[in-house]
Structure 1
Amino acid sequence: MNRLPPLKSLQAFEVAGRHLSFTEAARELNVTPGAISQQIRLLEEFLEIKLFKRMNRLIVLTDA
């Protein structure tokens, strides 16, 4: 049976990708920026790919 990624991780990815900001994603989802970062990290580990390039406080979507 195929496993699916956690819904919270997918939601965090969608909102962070739309805002290109973990802080703005956290505000929209009413969580901390650290929680967004953790969910993105879990999704990246699940998919075994990097989804964002992190440059200080700036994030950019990768080609993945």
Structure 2
Amino acid sequence: MSLPSLSALRAFEAAARLGSFKAAAEALHLSPTAVSHHIRGLEAQLGVSLFVRRTRAIAATEAGLQLSQAATRAFSELETAVATLRDRET
């Protein structure tokens, strides 16, 4: 199985952290439809529901919580690595 795209994981992580597709879309400068599309694709690829969808909010499922924690750690490590590389060049 191939890894999900970074854009899908970024949309998912933002939605999980911010609690809504709309807030994630605003933070990422995307449309809510694009965020929803990324997350539905991610759910299809993984074969699990990542969120319980409510009228104006979302709540992560157990699988969503696990992926959210992993994605947050992974993005944090990537940000640290990029910052370290940039510091070397200055």
Report TM bin, short chain.
over 0.9
Which has the larger Rg?
Answer: 2
Q: Unaligned stretches of 5+ in structure 1?
A: none
**1-structure distance, mates of 2:35, 2:60:** 15
TM-score in terms of structure 1 length: 0.93
The answer to whether residue 8 in structure 2 is matched with residue 9 in structure 1 is yes
Output the TM-score relative to the length of structure 2.
0.67
Structure with the largest fraction of strand: 1
Question: 1:32-52 CA deviation, whole Å, 9 max, x = no partner?
Answer: 001000000000001000000
Q: Which runs of 4+ in 1 moved over 3 A?
A: none
Name the counterpart of 1:41: 40
> Quick one: higher RCO (CA 8 Å, sep 6+), 1 or 2?
1
State the percentage of identical aligned residues.
46
For the aligned residues, what is the CA RMSD? 0.8
The number of residue pairs the alignment matches comes to: 63
